[in-house]
Amino acid sequence: MKLCIAEKPSVAKEIATILGATTKKDGYFEGNGYWVSWTFGHLCTLKEPHDYTSLWKWWNLDTLPMIPSKFSIKVMDNQGVQKQFRTIENLVSRCTEVINCGDAGQEGELIQQWVLLKANNTKPIKRLWISSLTEEAIKDGFKNLKDGKDFLNLYAAGSSRAIGDWLLGMNATRLYTLKYGREKQVLSIGRVQTPTLAMIVERHLSIQNFKPETFWELKTVYRNVIFNATVGKLKTIEKGTKALEYVTDKPFVVKDYEQKEGNEHPPKLFDLTALQVEANNKFGLTADHTLKLVQSLYEKKLVTYPRVDTAFLPNDMYPKIPKILEGLTYFSQLTEPLKGKKIRKSSKVFNDKKVTDHHAIIPTGIKQSGISPDEQNIYQTITKRFISVFYPDCKVSNTTVIGAVEKVDFKATGKQIIEPGWRVVYDNEEKKSTKEEESIMPNFVAGESGPHTPDLQEKVTSAPKYFTEATLLRAMETAGKNVDDEELRDAMKENGIGRPSTRANIIETLFRRKYIERVRKNIHATATGIDLIGTIKSDLLKSAELTGQWEHKLRLIEQGEYDVKAFKQELVEMIVQITNNVKFAENKTIAAAEPAAKAKPKTRKPKAKVEIEDMDCPKCKAAKMTKGKSAYGCANYAKGCKVLIPFEFLGKKLTPSQISDLITKGKTIKIKGFTNPKTGAKGNGKLVFDAAFAIQVEK
């Protein structure tokens, strides 16, 4: 039997149906020579510090840095997870071949490889590598299964990333908490989280400390067109007044008039970050919510794989475009002009060299149905962008007029759209935003002259703008550099901080830690976030540029161009350096723990506040737990994940700690005082989940 392992039960069911494995078993499907099982996302994780040695169980400066001689993994401490792992472990021991059907990306590869490693797999591995979940894509994928060995570098990069996050997160969080944290306060430090917070804090402080300066600009109106003096900002009113007096009652002369026709290319197809930026700007959606929406559209077969960092398609996709366009019946008014014609092929769309693991996010051509309003907005955004790239360029006329009053030069520019081309796809959306730039300028003739109306305008310099999620995502993509040019920004992606698939979670983590907060669409640093970054002196921890360099090395590992051992050694050296600098630093905010009577340092274990609504659903792992009137439930309850944990069970009110244990560990400690609803008798026991994730008492 061949064993297929998917990342989610829903995907496993889809694959099983296509393969003919239609007999439902406990934890897998069977049939036609296949077993099809699944994970719930991560079944395995890196061991925690106390799993390596009891010395690391308690938080103590003297035990830092914690550097395991060899990193190991374990099955997550959750009853449902452990049961599913045992099922996979049993199937692995009996199968003839494993087919890795996990998410086709770095994280998906890591999830699968850890499970197979823990299950002691020795069977050959094949890899299903697909960019959409349509029946056609899955069938083609199984016809063209790849050798699992081809993805060892991808696994190495994912593993190195996880180890790097462990080394820095575990050590630096304990280090800064013990050294500087207030009572019961955990100072969370992360490899990507901290430099992201540093960017937000730096922007926040620059706005707070900004001192506005007054300046003056000289303008004039000639033939109903506003011209700006080329001298720019005038810093004193005296200079401004003299300039105004100089040009008053003197004729305006046109020195040069130039009209150039040009082409505006359609905007690029979406990678994940660009889609999150667009959704935040257009609909006010958070990066995390956008990722969940597009992931849902992917699982509904409506769009291709979303966790991508490329905006291009491979050349072999070109013959498939007409069929996809044909399937977009909801957008027939926009696709109709493309039918019966040769589909435009541009290197700005089709470029094999710029396609990474997957191509840009595009619609699959499957008929849309059963999607929410938010999903509809995202789907429409992706689809319109896809359609627009096959339309002609927009033809524009760019006008530049240079004039002068005596020795003072003035300049005016304007743009007129001659043929809208791809802009017709966005006709209803763009009229407001392009109204000013599309204003038609009159024709001028060099040498013409006439009266004008000069004006001196007093203005004030503006403070930098707070980050929105859109601008923060762009800053993470370019490691903090302010880059507007699309081509240059694309070239800098290799050194961006975080990956497209993880940036949303990093931002949400900062919100959960209360280091940042939303003020309308803007992101502000909180006092806690500002204080934390002010405490961290090491650029190794908070420099976006340095973190970007680490990200680049991870990408090189993925490409087989950087040594994993060298990367780990560099991480270890960095952790040792940071630890020594902080441990022996002067002017400590909170003194190190005093030694006990036996010369052993006093230790304390900070207790984090139980935040149940920050926890992942124990069943689907795809949504957070949310608080209702009488119970906590999965945020995906309306979509079919029916996990419910009542505040009171069998007459016993559950504490936050007990509910937390049930969610994270799959069971509670023994609880006293349950009441039998039939007999009224009292009893004790542990709460556990059964196979369907309903709660029951285990004695």
Write out the catalytic residue numbers: 305
Q: Which helix (H) or strand (E) holds 195?
A: helix 193-208
Closest C-alpha among 587, 613, 612, 608 to residue 185: 608
How far apart (Å, rounded) are the C-alpha atoms in residues 33 and 2? 6
Q: Which helix (H) or strand (E) holds 121?
A: none
Task: Decide: 40 and 621 in contact? Cβ < 8 Å.
Answer: yes
Closest C-alpha among 527, 547, 528 to residue 539: 547
SS3 at position 650: coil
End-to-end Cα separation, the chain, in angstroms: 39
SS (H, E, C) 528-582: HHHHHHHHCCCHHHHCHHHHHHHHHHHHHHHCCCCCHHHHHHHHHHHHHHHHHHH
Task: Decide: 452 and 226 in contact? Cβ < 8 Å.
Answer: no
Vertex 76, ends 70 and 82: CA angle to 5°?
125
Residue 185 phi, psi dihedral angles, 5° rounding: -110, 125
Tokens for 495, please give them: 């050194």
Side chain identity at residue 520, one-letter code: R
Tokens for 646, please give them: 């009542």
SS3 at position 322: helix
Give rounded-to-5 percent helix, strand, coil for the chain. 40, 20, 35
Tell me how crowded residue 374 is: count the other CB atoms within 10 A of its CB: 16
**What residues form DSSP beta bridges with 457?**
217
Vertex 101, ends 99 and 106: CA angle to 5°?
115
Sequence-ordered list of residues with C-beta below 8 angstroms from that of 696, at least 6 positions apart, any chain: 687, 688, 689, 690
H helices, E strands: number in the chain:
22, 27
Q: What is the DSSP string of 394-444?
A: EEEEEEEEEEEETTEEEEEEEEEEEE-GGGGGGHHHHTTTTTTTTPPPPP-
How far apart (Å, rounded) are the C-alpha atoms in residues 469 and 458? 33
Count of positions (residues) in the chain = 699
Tokens for 129, please give them: 């590598």
Q: What is the DSSP string of 275-321?
A: HHHHHHHHH---HHHHHHHHHHHHHTTSB---------B-GGGGGGH
